[in-house]
Amino acid sequence: MTLPLNKTYRPMEATPASELPAGPEWQYEPKWDGFRCLAFRDGKRVDLQSKAGKPLTRYFPELATALTALPAKQFVVDGEIVIQQDGPPFFVYQRRLGSAKVVPYGRRAGRSCRQAP
């Protein structure tokens, strides 16, 4: 059975609380500096999307490639694209997205990915 992927999912957002919930059903993770991303896989196709619904796949082709290597053929993952400690600094990845008007769109996005792997 094949089900269509709904690309209108909204990312989970943190909500303020006066204290942390307790119990074995709760898990916590550190807050990393990165890019919020929803990853959709349907067969061989992988689409990465920002929390605002903007396409991110062309800016992170290595992530899309890695997701196609997973055994699951259909999924939606809500997470954060984080930067490795021994990798390029965070601002290098911001350039991929054109945060400083460095990468507007189109063919230059591919060039930017090669310059800031």
Q: Catalytic residue numbers?
A: 31
The angle at the Cα of 113, spanning 108 to 117, to the nearest 5 degrees, equals 160
CA distance 108 to 28: 38
Kindly report the backbone phi and psi dihedral angles of residue 80, in degrees, each rounded to the nearest multiple of 5, phi listed first: -120, 130
